[in-house]
Amino acid sequence: MTAAPAPIDVGLRIDVDTLRGTRLGVPGLLRVLEKHGVAGTFYFSVGPDNMGRHLWRLLKPGFLWKMLRSNAASLYGLDILLRGTFWPGPIIADKAGDAIIAAAQHGHEIGFHAWDHHRWQTRVEQMSPEDMERSISRGCDALSGLLGQPIRTTAVAGWRATESTIEVKQALGFDYNSDCRGDSIFIPVVSGAEMAPQVPVTLPTYDEIIGIDGVDDSVFNERILDGIKPDALNVYTIHAEVEGIARVELFDRLLSLAAARGIRFRPLCELLQGVDIASLPRDRIQPRQMPGREGWVSWQGAA
């Protein structure tokens, strides 16, 4: 008689970028996650929803191709694509605080994603450390004000962190952050100083692989599950705007298929439990291009 294979733990990160994702996507995800008894880490955007400014990026051919490939209007909703283009973006924490509180009440870990997601993603390289500090503090204050508890973890918008971002976050004292792509939990080293642990994302997101190399919804879940490696760090990111709304049934099926394979999704903080910090690799955070994503994203790299 052979023993059942050991369960594989996978960190589940849920990014919430927009007002629509918070209002509609978060309740949808809470229902599906509860149905499967799964908890994850929600990273919330809380300030002005200016994601509609993405519309201007249609002028760039790479972005236009991605929008067509992923059928962005049906995936994200036209209101998201237009938001902030013709009128000022609404403050998400003011308009949809109930959904954020509900996520915490359902037992999920809550972290900070962005004050102004669009501004961070497009302008982080031009932001001064003081500007970054204001943006992160303002957002964390709004989030902790809603929840009545301090925020212990953050994840930059668009996987765009510079070394300066990591130093700013260190001064704000978070337990750990998830700011980059990579393959193991590590200690980032910036200017010779060791920073709080990073839990990198290891798997691709829906919009990064859909429509490429024959990947459509009929094979998407298998593609993700096949990328999960036993005896390695596995972290998967979903978006409230996608897996909570237009692809909620696809995500529901992913959770069923994962359970059948012995895969357990967990909040990121649980991946750090029992980890010996001294034994973690010391690495750098470096900008890199990646398939399916426009411009650079932060990667774990050798120090």
* Residue 111 or 263 with smaller CB distance to Zn ion: 111
Q: How far apart are CA 52 and CA 73, in angstroms?
A: 12
DSSP per position, 240-301: TTIIIIITHHHHHHHHHHHHHTTEEEE-HHHHTTT--GGGS-EEEEEEEEETTEEEEEEEEE
How buried is 22 (Cβ within 10 angstroms: 0-12 exposed, 13-18 middle, 19+ buried)? buried
* Residue 15 or 109 with smaller CB distance to Zn ion: 15
Least gap, CB of 204 to Zn ion (angstroms): 15
Find all residues with CB under 8 Å of 139, minimum gap 6, and list them.
45, 46, 47, 112, 113, 114, 115
Find all residues with CB under 8 Å of 152, minimum gap 6, and list them.
111, 174, 175, 176, 269
* Residue 159 or 186 with smaller CB distance to Zn ion: 159
Contact window for Zn ion (CB under 5 A) among 10-18, 132-140, 176-184, 199-207: 10-18
Q: Which of 8, 14, 15, 99 binds Zn ion (CB under 5 A)?
A: 15
Least gap, CB of 280 to Zn ion (angstroms): 25
Comparing C-alpha atoms, which of 104, 80, 81, 82 is closest to residue 92? 80
Least gap, CB of 206 to Zn ion (angstroms): 13
* Residue 179 or 283 with smaller CB distance to Zn ion: 179
Angle at 182 between CA 177 and CA 183, to 5 degrees: 105
Least gap, CB of 281 to Zn ion (angstroms): 26
Least gap, CB of 274 to Zn ion (angstroms): 29
User: Residues 137-176: x/- map of binding to Zn ion (CB under 5 A)?
Assistant: --------------------x-------------------
Least gap, CB of 117 to Zn ion (angstroms): 6
Determine if 49 is a binding residue for Zn ion (CB under 5 A): no
- Contact (CB, 8 A) for 149 and 111: no
Contact window for Zn ion (CB under 5 A) among 16-24, 189-197, 228-236, 274-282: 16-24
Total residues in contact with Zn ion, by rule CB under 5 A:
3
* Residue 205 or 234 with smaller CB distance to Zn ion: 205
**Tokens at 66, concatenated:** 């991605």
Residue 103's H or E segment, with its range, is: helix 97-105
* Residue 17 or 179 with smaller CB distance to Zn ion: 17
Determine if 17 is a binding residue for Zn ion (CB under 5 A): yes
Least gap, CB of 246 to Zn ion (angstroms): 16
* Residue 15 or 179 with smaller CB distance to Zn ion: 15
Q: How far apart are CA 229 and CA 225, in angstroms?
A: 9
Which residues sit at the interface with Zn ion, rule CB under 5 A? 15, 17, 157
